[in-house]
């Protein structure tokens, strides 16, 4: 009946993952601002100084969450696009968009908080978040650069950033009001809007 002295020792890597999982949950529920480190530590079942030992600061913890989910998103969309390679550029575009919206669906609020609404600061953390976001844009710049070999880098940049921004906002709209529209359908609608703008790519179509 005396309460269990359940101090269970766990290797660092594993605890880090537990902490990230709990933090992602709480951030998604309450938002970054309204989350206290005490609450995260409570939910993991570990004391606060551990969080600081492993992640330096509250911002650091947020950054780690963002990095993790971004990496997941990146490999997911990359995989989908690679799988659609045979269908030609248009199919690749649609596959990437669909994978993105599907990812957003599966991760719900965590996606919105961590990828869109969370940036807070004007200091190094902002840089860090933008850098992580840059992965996605660079991926698109690569692909678009290959398709539009003779377009100016500026044009490629505008298209890539524009497409990323459009995806984010459309995904957010779906989360709030537009959930009646499925990932596939949404992807096609957005691709329809953007595709004709890629004038030069009109060569290889679906089989």
Partner DNA sequence: CTTCTCTACCTACTCTCAGTAGGCTACCCG
Partner DNA sequence: CGGGTAGCCTACTGAGAGTAGGTAGAGAAG
Candidates 145, 115, 113, 112; CA nearest to 130 is 115
- Residues ≥6 apart with Cβ < 8 Å to 76: 99, 103
Q: Which stretch binds its own copies (CB under 8 A): 8-16, 69-77, 78-86, 152-160?
A: 152-160
Rounded Cα distance between 198 and 57, Å, is 44
* 9 contact choice in its own copies, DNA, none (CB below 5 to 8 Å, kind-dependent): DNA
- Contact of residue 150 among its own copies, DNA, none (CB under 5-8 Å per partner type): none
Query: CB of residue 114 vs DNA: minimum separation in angstroms?
Result: 17
Does position 108 bind its own copies by CB under 8 A? no
161 near its own copies, judged by CB under 8 A: yes
Long-range contacts of 128-133 (CB under 8 A, 24+ apart): 128/63, 129/63, 129/66, 132/63, 132/66, 132/67, 132/70, 133/70, 133/164
Nearer to DNA, 4 or 199 (CB): 4
Near its own copies by CB under 8 A: residue from 71, 121, 149, 205? 121
Quick check: 131 binds its own copies (CB under 8 A)? no
Give the angle subtended at the CA of 110 by the CAs of 107 and 115, to the nearest 5°: 105
Q: How many residues bind its own copies (CB under 8 A)?
A: 51
80 touches 98 (CB < 8 A): yes
Query: Of these partners, its own copies, DNA, none, which one is at the site of residue 73 (CB under 5 to 8 Å by kind)?
Result: none
**From the list its own copies, DNA, none, partner contacted by residue 194 (C-beta under 5 to 8 A by kind):** its own copies
| Residue 169 · residue 116 · CB < 8 Å | no
Output the CA torsion 148→154→157→163 (10° steps).
-80
| Residues in contact with its own copies by the rule CB under 8 A | 28-34, 109, 113, 117, 119-123, 126, 130, 154-155, 157-159, 161-170, 172-173, 176-178, 180-181, 185-186, 189-190, 192-199
């Amino acid at each position: 009946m005396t309460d269990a002295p359940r101090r269970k020792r766990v290797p660092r890597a594993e605890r880090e993952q537990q902490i990230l999982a709990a933090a992602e949950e709480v951030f998604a529920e309450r938002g970054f601002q309204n989350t206290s480190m005490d609450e995260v530590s409570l939910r993991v079942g570990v004391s606060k100084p551990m969080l600081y030992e492993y992640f330096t600061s509250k911002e650091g913890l947020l950054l780690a969450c963002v990095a993790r989910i971004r990496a997941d998103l990146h490999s997911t969309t990359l995989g989908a696009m690679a799988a659609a390679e045979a269908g030609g550029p248009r199919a690749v575009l649609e596959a990437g968009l669909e994978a993105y919206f599907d990812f957003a669906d599966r991760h719900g609020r965590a996606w919105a908080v961590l990828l869109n609404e969370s940036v807070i600061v004007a200091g190094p953390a902002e840089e860090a978040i933008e850098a992580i976001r840059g992965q996605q844009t660079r991926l698109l710049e690569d692909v678009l650069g290959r398709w539009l070999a003779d377009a100016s880098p500026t044009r490629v940049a505008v298209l890539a950033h524009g497409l990323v921004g459009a995806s984010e906002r459309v995904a957010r709209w779906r989360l709030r009001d537009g959930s009646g529209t499925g990932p596939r359908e949404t992807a096609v609608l957005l691709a329809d809007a953007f595709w004709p703008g890629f004038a030069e790519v009109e060569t290889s179509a679906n089989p």
